Every structure is written in structure tokens, then in C-alpha cells.
Amino acid sequence: MLGPSIIDRYVFREIATSFLFCFAVFLLTGLIAGFLPLVQKGMETGLELTLILLQLLIFTLPTTLVTVLPPSVLIGILLGLGRMAADNEIAAIKSCGISVLYLFPPVFLLGLVGLGLSLACTLYLVPKGVSEAKDLSQQALTTRPDAGIEQRTFFDRFANLIVYVEEIDSSTGTMSRVFIRESSDPDDVRTIVAKTGKAHPDPDGKAFILHLRDGTIVRSNRRGDATGTISFPSFVFRYPVQRQESVSFEELSISEIRKRVKEVTSPRPDDTPEKLAYYGRVRSIADILITQRFTHPLACLALAIMAFPLGVISMGRSRLNNVTMGFLVIFAYYTLTLATERVVRSALAAPELVLPLPFVLFALISAHLSWCARMERVPAIIGMVRSLLFRMKRPG
């Protein structure tokens, strides 16, 4: 009867447990990094905005998953196999005449699980999350347009508008020493300086409103010449908020991207060379994005098969050695990934040919290292790293 053996189940349970621990740590770290600033900003501006920002965090979760899954798979496998190697369990398996390659199927299965989860995110969840997050951001913007204003920081979220505030009273929301420059009309640029100000929500959600006190309005033309000055004890500054209706490629499925590209780049008789060049850039961006939706998940499988020989070859009894090796491998993989992305964005090669290269290269290297592990040979590079780790721990 075919099926997983006792060793398969044992190895998979060992590496899966380590994977879940690493995944929880990496995911929690990523969520906290994005969660705390959102909660702080939301609590400062009201419960309604807090709920919107929490929903925004949920919709950005698939993007975080794509980021944390590959390192979680790699470190989890290294910790699981490293523990078995350090406790001489792998040596016991080999002493029974069982090849170390017999341990590879559970590792490959965990890599496939990571690959499947990442593909589900990049192909379906991430585009939907980007679209929903965009709608929520617009909702937050219309609910409390002033939510992004911070003291001593230029606020330029809206086109043709810059707001600078020296101090903000967190308890009352009162702003001190307010500077505003509004340039919607190049021939009538308004510069407003006020002693105090306070934001007020627009019931219709269509405007950014500031109630200003004790200030001056200076009007100027496109040459910068002043055309008028008005002092005021009280002034209501109202700036219309326009909803963004455009849809980016990141919000679309692969079929929708191809359809959009076909609509946008359809040749016309009156197309200029500049227009044709623009069509080429659109096609290139679409091809890169589509290819990345498959190559980014491949990182899970590439790092999993690389972790197998590194975990089988004992790096010492300290689990820190395996973690250190894991981070070095992650750094090398993503450095190579960034290099290939730079090549395709420079239009030096087709993305379908270049972007999968990190996976192919790591697969070849892992095959060589697995052969070395089977033949009980320590590759020179592994020996150098292991010696370096031992020296770093040696006292004196």
C-alpha cells in the first residue's frame, strides 16, 4: 500500500511545527509594524476611522503573507532538520541504510504548500485586497481628510495643495501656526498663514475643510507677483476632494490585465512615435507584473529545496547557526531577484526569461548540495561558513 511512511510523517511534523512557529513570528512582526501606527492615528481621529484602518490592515494581509511565507518555509525547514541532525537522528537514519534523499519528499511537500498559498495570494487575494484597500483609503480620506496631517510635516496628499502645521493639540485637534498653499489655478495662487486652525468633517464627504483664525491670505500670479492681500479674524478654507476612479494593474486579474493592455495599446493610424513608445512601456509593465505573480511564489519552493541539503548537513548543535545560514540564503535569493527585476525594467531582456532565473539557479545549487549530502561530502562553501560560525562563538 502506497502512502507516507513513518519517517515521512515524522519529518513533516518536525519541519511543519518549526514552519508554523517562524510564520507566526514573522507575520506578527509584519502586522505590528503596520498595525500600531494605524491604530494610533485612528484613535486620535475617532472610532469610525479606527474601524476603517483596521479593515485596511486586513485587506493588505495577503501582501504580507507573500512576503513572510518564503523565509518562514526556509527557516522552519532548517530548524527542523537542523534539530534532527544535531540530535544524531539523521545519522541514525543513514546507519540503517536509508539515503538522506528519503527525507526530501516532506520538505518538497512543505515547499509546495507555501507555493500554493503564495499563488492564491498573488493571483486572487492580493488584487482584490489592493482594490478594497484603495476604496477604504478613499473612504478614510473623505471621512477625515485631515487624518494624515502631522505637526512639522508637509501634508501634500491632495493635488495642488500643501499644508504645514507647527503644532497640534492632540486633545482638542487645534492646530497652531498653520501654513497653506493652494495652486489649483496657476494664475491665482493662494498662500494662507493663520495663527490657529481646526479641521471639520464635511457631511457630504466631498471637501477638506479647515476653520482658520487670525491670519492672512496672499494671492499671487504664476510669476510669483503678489496680486492682493487680505487679513481675516476667521476664515473657512474649503478644498474639494476628488475621488480617484482610475484602476491600476495591481487591482486586476491576469485576464483583466491582458484585456486592459489590448484596449490601451490598440494601434491607430494617427499614432506618433511617442505614442508607440508609450504602448511598449505599458506592455512591458504588464508582462513584468504578470510574470511576478508566478515568480514571487516560486521563492517558497526555491528556498525549501535549498533548505533541505543545508539542514541535513549539520551546522553544529546551536540552532542559531541554522538561522544565520537561513538569513544568508534569503539575502542571496532576494538580491538576485532584485537584480533580475532591474534587468527587465531596463528592457534588457524579456521578463519571462529572466525573472525565473533565481529559482532555476537555486534549484541547480540545491541539487549539487543534495548530491554532496548523499555522498557525505561537505561543500567548500558550507565548510567555510561553518568554520566562520564556530570561530565567532569561540571565546577570546
Q: Which tens digits make up the pLDDT trace of 16-58? A: 999 999 999 998 887 776 666 655 555 555 545 556 566 767 7
End-of-domain residue from the set 214, 240, 266 = 240
Given pLDDT bands bounded at 50, 70 and 90, which one contains residue 158? Answer: confident
Q: 261-270, 318-327, 356-365, 375-384: which range is least confident on average?
A: 375-384
Tally of domains in the chain: 2
The whole-number average pLDDT for the span 301-306 is: 94
> Does residue 129 sit in the same domain as residue 172?
no
Q: How many angstroms separate the CA atoms of 307 and 370, rounded? A: 10
Nearest to 59 by CA among 127, 124, 120, 132: 132
- E strand map for the chain: 161-168, 175-182, 189-200, 207-220, 226-240
Q: Is the pLDDT of residue 396 over 60?
A: no
Q: In this structure, is residue 251 part of a structural domain?
A: no
89: left (phi over 0), alpha (psi -120 to 50) or beta: alpha
Any idea which of 108-122, 157-171, 312-326 has the lowest mean pLDDT?
Answer: 312-326
pLDDT digits (tens, 9 = 90+) for 331-376: 999 999 999 999 998 888 889 999 999 999 999 999 988 888 787 7
351 domain residue, yes or no: yes
Euclidean distance between CA atoms 77 and 157, whole angstroms = 44
pLDDT of residue 82: 83
390 confidence band (pLDDT: 50, 70, 90): low
Decide if pLDDT at 1 tops 50. no
Asked if residue 99 is part of any domain, the answer here is: yes
Q: Is 309 within a domain?
A: yes
Q: Establish if 381 belongs to a structural domain.
A: yes
pLDDT at position 119 over 50: yes
Range picked from 169-178, 237-246, 320-329, 352-361 for highest mean pLDDT: 352-361
14 shares its domain with 131: yes
Q: Decide if 154 is inside a domain.
A: no
Contacts of residue 48, defined as CB under 8 A and 6 or more positions apart, other chains included, come to 143
Tell me what pLDDT residue 363 has: 93
Q: Which residue has the higher pLDDT, 93 or 376?
A: 93
pLDDT above 60 for 168: yes
Percent of the chain scored above 70 by pLDDT? 81
> Does residue 97 sit in the same domain as residue 33?
yes
- Domain span including residue 364: 6-141+280-393
**Residue 80 exposed, middle or buried by CB count within 10 Å (0-12, 13-18, 19+):** buried
Identify whether residues 344 and 232 lie together within a single domain: no
- Above pLDDT 90, what percent of the chain? 32
Within this chain, do residues 120 and 17 fall inside the same structural domain, yes or no?
yes
Which residues fall within 8 angstroms of residue 219, CB to CB, at 6 or more apart? 188, 189, 190, 191, 226, 227, 228, 229, 230
pLDDT at site 377: 74
- Decide: 100 and 312 in contact? Cβ < 8 Å: yes
215 and 108 within one domain: no
Q: Are 229 and 319 in the same domain?
A: no
C-alpha to C-alpha distance for 168 and 154, rounded to whole angstroms: 13
Same domain, 14 and 119: yes
Long-range Cβ contacts of 346-355 (<8 Å, 24+ apart): 347/284, 350/287, 351/284, 351/287, 351/288, 351/291, 351/292, 352/287, 352/291, 355/288, 355/291, 355/292, 355/295
Q: What is the pLDDT of residue 299?
A: 94
- The backbone region for 66, taken as left when phi is positive above 0, alpha when psi lies in -120 to 50, beta otherwise, is alpha
- Output the pLDDT for position 243: 56
- The pLDDT tens digits of the residues spanning 196-238 come to 998 877 766 677 788 999 999 999 887 778 788 889 999 998 8
| Residue 105 located in a structural domain | yes
| In a domain? residue 87 | yes
Helix (H) or strand (E) holding 18: helix 6-45
**Residue 137 and residue 28 share a domain:** yes
Q: Would the pLDDT of 387 be above 70?
A: no
Q: What share of the chain is helix, strand, coil (3-state, %, to 5)?
A: 65, 15, 20
Beta bridge partners of 216: 193, 231
One domain, residues 103 and 191: no
**Predicted confidence (pLDDT) at residue 296 exceeds the cutoff of 90:** yes
Least confident stretch, 133-147, 161-175, 198-212, 299-313: 133-147
Name the pTM for this structure.
Answer: 0.72
Cross-sheet strand order for the sheet of 226-240: 161-168, 175-182, 189-200, 207-220, 226-240
Residue 315 has pLDDT above 60, yes or no: no
State phi, psi for 260 to the nearest 5 degrees.
-65, -45
Identify which has the larger pLDDT, 5 or 76. Answer: 76
User: Which of the pair, 395 or 360, is modelled with greater confidence?
Assistant: 360
Q: Looking at the structure, do residues 133 and 164 belong to the same domain, yes or no? A: no
Q: Specify whether 137 is located in the same domain as 284.
A: yes
